[in-house]
Amino acid sequence: MIIKNLADNLIYPLKPSDTAGFALESFDILKQDILPVAENNALIGYLLKKDLEKIKKNQVIKPVITTNYNFEINENRHFYDAIIFLLRDNAPYLVTVNNDNQYTGNISYKCIINYLANSYTLQAEGSVINLKLQSYNYSLNEINRIIESEDAKIIGLNIFKVTDTNLIILSIKLNTKYIDRIVFSLQRFGYEITDTFNNKSYVNDVEDRYHSLVKYLEL
């Protein structure tokens, strides 16, 4: 998914001809401490709320516009890049620009989280298995083959690096909650299972069904 299809556009840019009084109102309404400034749709810099103290309310903001921030990102990049930029720059949001550096909107943590929360991977019923392995031993084809041999499918996958090691953690979302056989099969092939989530046991499920049947027959 590219950024321009996710941008929430809740923040509007100021103009260099805006007064400090108008800018202050904008800061209060948008609940931000830094806002982009654009002229003829071209992004020219940013304004910090604290810098408004340097000028009077009836003066224009042009003298206190700064170019020391780089919170912009091309709207045609993948939203993964937006996450990296937000974390790297500790930015409250990112300004989206087109190929001509024209202001087109903004993207925030909130809209990215909302998008991820509505993904099929998170919404679908299933369970999660975490595997720990050496990065050079990672083979999705092999892991997928083992899982599909137990009549299950991978519907989501995230890979995390273990700090200062060659190890990675694979967090695998499966389309079933019954994962006993999958866990046993992965372990049989040498995979270390560190955690499982939302899993149901085949054994417990059979026992529950058996006890329910006995109670029914005793009626």
CATH number of the domain encompassing residue 161: 3.30.2130.10
Please give the model's pTM, rounded to 2 decimal places: 0.75
Residues 62, 152 within the same domain: no
**Considering the domain boundaries, does residue 213 fall inside one?**
no
Check whether residue 173 and residue 155 sit in a common domain: yes
Last-in-domain residue among 115, 144, 170 = 115
Residue 200 has pLDDT above 60, yes or no: yes
- Give the total number of structural domains in the chain: 2
Distances in Å between the Cα of 73 and the Cα atoms of 37, 115, 125 are 15, 18, 35
The Cα 43–Cα 95 span in angstroms is: 9
Are residues 67 and 137 located together in one domain of the fold?
no
Higher pLDDT, 131 or 218: 131
Which residue range(s) make up the domain with 177? Answer: 123-204
Same-domain status, 75 and 159: no
- Residue 65 and residue 115: Cα distance in Å, rounded? 33
Kindly report, residue by residue over 99-118, the tens digit of the pLDDT: 998 999 999 988 899 888 88
Residue 109 and residue 127 share a domain: no
